[in-house]
Amino acid sequence: MSFKSNSINIVLVETSHPGNIGSVARAMKTMGLSKLSLVNPKDFPSGDANALSGNARDLLDSAKVYPNLKDAIKESTFVYATSARNRSINWPNVSPEEAAKKIIDQSINGKEVSIIFGREDRGLKNEELQLANYHLEIPANPDYPVLNIAMSVQIVTYELYKNANLIEEKEWRDFPEVNSKDLQRLIDHFVETSIDLELIDPDNPSQIISRLKRMFTRLQPDSMEANYLRGFLGAINKRLK
């Protein structure tokens, strides 16, 4: 990973169900994060949390418990708070992808970042949201914008992982693309064979020839594919003689 994952602090506020803490730990570890802070959880440590954490039990063992949110985020330079509701006071809002880009840059530059997730039933209070630099909103169906806390954490941490591990598209071809000259020869050969097969009326071709040209240029065959097609067409031409 190119970013400092140990500088990203996932904060859960007053989680009611311990199983959710375990599920969050699992979601975090899947995406390479390990720093978990719990603010006044109802039941922790817990066997339910352990059971649902899978192989992320180590995150639960290292999780820190705080009596209040201010203590949990006091070392952070940047704070993001998840919110699904419109508030009376507007705040800078970011999507998960926008937040991920900012957070990765901030962590690379040595800044600690906290991402706060609220209570299962009512999220974060206004005064808690106002501790954040940004409000992070996960797009969802407006008629039912309901995500459980582990789902929310998974979406946000996935965006972090994705943006931190952008992989350049690898060349998958084992032969180079055919050049323009040979591609046009292939197209002409295909059109001529189609005319010989009486599939195209040369006196009234409509738009089919243009569509064939568009198809071949869009497909971008490689040199081996083009050679095979030329051989295939050549075999047809021999049969027609």
Domain boundaries, the chain: 5-164, 180-240
pTM of the entire predicted model: 0.75
The CATH fold assigned to 5-164 is Alpha/beta knot (3.40.1280)
The CATH fold assigned to 180-240 is Helicase, Ruva Protein; domain 3 (1.10.8)
What does the alpha-carbon distance between residue 120 and residue 42 come to, in Å, rounded to a whole number? 12
Cα dihedral across residues 65, 68, 69, 74: positive or negative: negative
- Extract the tokens encoding 186: 């292939």
Task: Look at residue 168 in the predicted model and tell me its pLDDT.
Answer: 54
Helix H or strand E segment including 117: strand 113-117
- Extract the tokens encoding 225: 């594919």
What does the alpha-carbon distance between residue 167 and residue 180 come to, in Å, rounded to a whole number? 29
Residue-by-residue DSSP string for 6-55: GGEEEEEES-S-HHHHHHHHHHHHHTT--EEEEES-SS-S-HHHHHHHTT
Task: Look at residue 87 in the predicted model and tell me its pLDDT.
Answer: 58
Task: Look at residue 41 in the predicted model and tell me its pLDDT.
Answer: 97
What does the alpha-carbon distance between residue 241 and residue 219 come to, in Å, rounded to a whole number? 30
Task: Look at residue 145 in the predicted model and tell me its pLDDT.
Answer: 83
Task: Look at residue 146 in the predicted model and tell me its pLDDT.
Answer: 84
Q: What is the pLDDT along the chain (241 residues), one digit of tens a residue?
A: 456 678 999 999 999 999 999 999 999 999 999 999 999 999 999 999 999 999 999 999 999 999 999 999 999 999 999 987 655 567 899 999 999 999 999 998 889 999 999 999 889 999 999 999 999 999 989 888 889 999 999 999 999 999 888 755 567 788 888 999 999 999 999 999 999 999 999 888 878 999 999 999 999 899 999 999 999 999 999 999 8
Task: Look at residue 205 in the predicted model and tell me its pLDDT.
Answer: 80
Task: Look at residue 167 in the predicted model and tell me its pLDDT.
Answer: 54
Task: Look at residue 166 in the predicted model and tell me its pLDDT.
Answer: 73
